[in-house]
Structure formats: C-alpha cells, structure tokens
Amino acid sequence: MKIVITGGAGFLGRRLAKVLLEDSDVAQVILSDVSQLRAPSHDERLVLSQANLLDPGAAAAVVDGADVVFHLAAIVSGQAEADFDMGMSVNVDATRSLLEAARATGHCPRFVYASSLAVFGPPLPAVVDEQTAVHPQSSYGAQKAICELLVADYTRKAFVDGRVLRFPTVCVRPGTPNAAASSFVSGIIREPLHGEKAVCPVGRDHKLWLSSPAAVVENLIHAAWLRPDELGFERIINLPGITVTVGEMIASLERIAGKEVASRVVFGEDLKVQRIVCSWPSSFDVTRALRLGFSRDPDFDDLIMDFISDEKAEKNLKRP
Ligand SMILES: NC(=O)c1ccc[n+]([C@@H]2O[C@H](COP(=O)([O-])OP(=O)(O)OC[C@H]3O[C@@H](n4cnc5c(N)ncnc54)[C@H](O)[C@@H]3O)[C@@H](O)[C@H]2O)c1
C-alpha cells in the first residue's frame, strides 16, 4: 500500500509517518511538503518529496499511484487571517487541485482530510454534535469548511473515498510558537517547562477542546482504515477530545512540574487572538466517533506527561 502525506514536514505529518511505518503492511510512505523534509525514522519505505502544492502539476505528481492520501498541508489560523490570499491559495485551491489529481488517478483513493473545530462559531449550542451547522469566524475556519464540502462531494461522486476529521486543538506542540491563533495553548505548558515565561491571552475560565498529537495520529490512521460501509454516507467526523479550562491546565502543570514552573504563566489580553479562539466550541457530543472506534486522551495530565516523555526520547535520539 502506497501512502502520501502532504504537510509531511509539519508537526503532525512527521509523527503520522513514523507511526504508519510501524505497520509492516505499509509498502511506502511519501512525505511531501514545500518546506525542507527530515526523515522521522530510518526506513527504506520512506520517500521524501519536496513540492509546492501551488505549482502547476505538483498535485498530480504528489498523488501519483497513491492508495491513501492524508492531506495535512495548510496555512495555520493566524496566518490565514493575516494573509487572506495565501490562505485561500494553500487551504482551498491546493486542496481542490489535490482532489482533482486524486480523481484523475481513476482508482478512487482514500482521502483523509484534516479539518478543524474552527469551522464552528457562535451562535453555538451548549454541546456541538454532528448536526450543528458550521459558522466559521475566521478565514481559516471558512477555508476548512469549504474543503469539507469539496471532499464530501468528491466522495459522493466516487472520485475519492473521503474522510474528514475535525481536529480539536492539538496540544502540546513541541518547538517554538507558530502563527496559529491557538499557539498559546501549547505555549503555556511548553515554555514554563523550558524555564521560560508564557503569556496567556485568554482568562483562566476559558474552556478549550483538546487532543494530544498521539491521539490525533491514531485517529487519522483509524479513519484511513475504516471500511466505506462502516462510515456510510456521512464522512465528516468531530474527533473526540477533552474539555479543559486554562485554569485546569495550569493546575495540571503545577501537579506535574511544581508551583514554580506553573507560576511562569502570566495573563495578558490579546484581542486578535481572543476574537478567533473564543469563537471555537469547547464541548462536543462525540458518540458517533466513539462508536466508530476513534479514541481520546484520558485527561490533561496525560497530555503533559506525553509531551515530557516525547521530549526526552527526542533528546536521546540526538545524543551522539
Ligand atoms: N495542530 C493543530 O492544533 C490542528 C488543529 C486543527 C486542525 N489542524 C490541521 O491539521 C493539519 C496539520 O497540522 P500541523 O499542526 O501539523 O500543521 P503544520 O503547520 O505543522 O504543518 C503544515 C505543513 O504544510 C506545509 N505547507 C504549507 N503550504 C504548503 C504548500 N503550498 N505546499 C506543500 N506544503 C505546504 C507547511 O510547510 C507545513 O510543514 C493542518 O491541515 C491543520 O490545519 C491542526
């Protein structure tokens, strides 16, 4: 089986490739990205392919011969809001090109699309479910919602076998802050653990809908392996997550790393971030996703512990 991951140099793409390669039934994993790619593991089944999905012909080359396409390449929320044209090009036009290229293969490849809770916005019910209408309050959310419909219609026409996953905010992201409006969600855990101050732009009572990177990767793979008849006509899935307030996140950090570390989180309003992040729902009914076998993290302590052990493993790998 030949698998392609777009956005393969990104946070989730690299992790996804690593986990996929643990499966001996996988014949090839192609990591594609406009950015420089690094192999997540040494494996002869891994191919690195640098390509800009906006270049003419790039999409066709990327999906050539693929049985499964995980489409993760995107411009994140803050950047899509700041640069409308770039967001539309990468998040919408490139997705459409990729769907067209997948259609042209003629063998209806599986197409797993990374959507987001950002497709929702006020007015919101207390609990979002499969019937809740999309009402994005950011260009990023609107672009994801457009692509959800595209994937659904290409699936209805049997051009691709699509699966759309609406991710919770994924936390804790390693590295440095990125241009996502939700960047602080990882920052308020990661920076204090690294001995640095972190500014939280929303209040302690603000509720978030979160998932660990490990759970999202597991769910991406689960989505790709589900049979079409298990999914039925409805291909859009709100992925499971956990609802946590910022105050609960800081309390978790204190339990795990101590008072001094937790005290490095300070509060400072950022209206630009608040306007986007406060429009996102924080409570979902995920009965259908759980029935289909998608999984979720037990609690927020677990997300922090995962991050700490991933960082330790990464450090050991880098040691000569
Ligand atoms: N991380 C989260 O919290 C989260 C939440 C909801 C949805 N998502 C979605 O999941 C997917 C993966 O997220 P991530 O956190 O790994 O993002 P990321 O920003 O780390 O990775 C995205 C990758 O897309 C690549 N890319 C951008 N433009 C491209 C182009 N023109 N051609 C080829 N590649 C291009 C970038 O170089 C980057 O490596 C994205 O679609 C994102 O919108 C993520």
Let me know if 140 is a catalytic residue.
yes
Q: What is the pLDDT of residue 211?
A: 97
Q: Model confidence over 114-161: pLDDT tens digits?
A: 999 999 999 999 999 989 999 999 999 999 999 999 999 999 999 999
Query: Among 72, 140, 190, 216, which is best to mutate for testing ligand 1, by the most ligand atoms less than 8 A from CB?
Result: 72
Model pLDDT for residues 269-279, shown as the tens digit of each residue: 899 899 889 99
Domain residue ranges in the chain: 2-318
Per-residue pLDDT, 315: 77
| Distance separating alpha carbons of residues 123 and 117, to the nearest angstrom | 14
Nearest one of 278, 126, 262, 136 to 202, comparing CA atoms: 278
186 has pLDDT over 90: yes
Q: Is the pLDDT of residue 223 over 80?
A: yes
Closest ligand 1 atom to the C-alpha of 53?
A: 32
Spatial separation of the C-alpha atoms in residues 228 and 109, rounded to whole Å: 12
Q: Which CATH superfamily is domain 2-318 in?
A: NAD(P)-binding Rossmann-like Domain (3.40.50.720)
Average of per-residue pLDDT across 303-314 = 92
Ligand 1 pocket, residues with Cβ under 6 angstroms: 6-7, 9-13, 33-35, 52-54, 72-76, 90, 94, 114, 116, 167, 169-170, 182
Please tell me which residue in 140, 154, 159, 294 is annotated as part of the active site: 140
Nearest CA to ligand 1 atom 21: 10
Residues 231, 73, 13, 70, CA torsion sign: positive
Ligand 1 atom closest to Cα of residue 9:
39
Q: Which residues contact 46 (CB under 8 A, 6 or more apart)?
A: 17, 21, 28, 29, 31, 39, 40
- Tokens found for residue 100: 């067209």
The pTM of this model reads: 0.96
Query: pLDDT of 80-94, one tens digit each?
Result: 999 999 999 999 999
How would residue 319 be classed by pLDDT, with cut points 50, 70 and 90? low
- Dump pLDDT digits (tens) for 32-58: 999 999 999 899 999 999 999 999 999
Q: Please tell me the distance from the alpha carbon of residue 99 to that of residue 71, in angstroms, as a whole number.
A: 10
Whether residue 320 has pLDDT greater than 60: no
Other C-beta atoms closer than 10 Å to the C-beta of 130 total 14
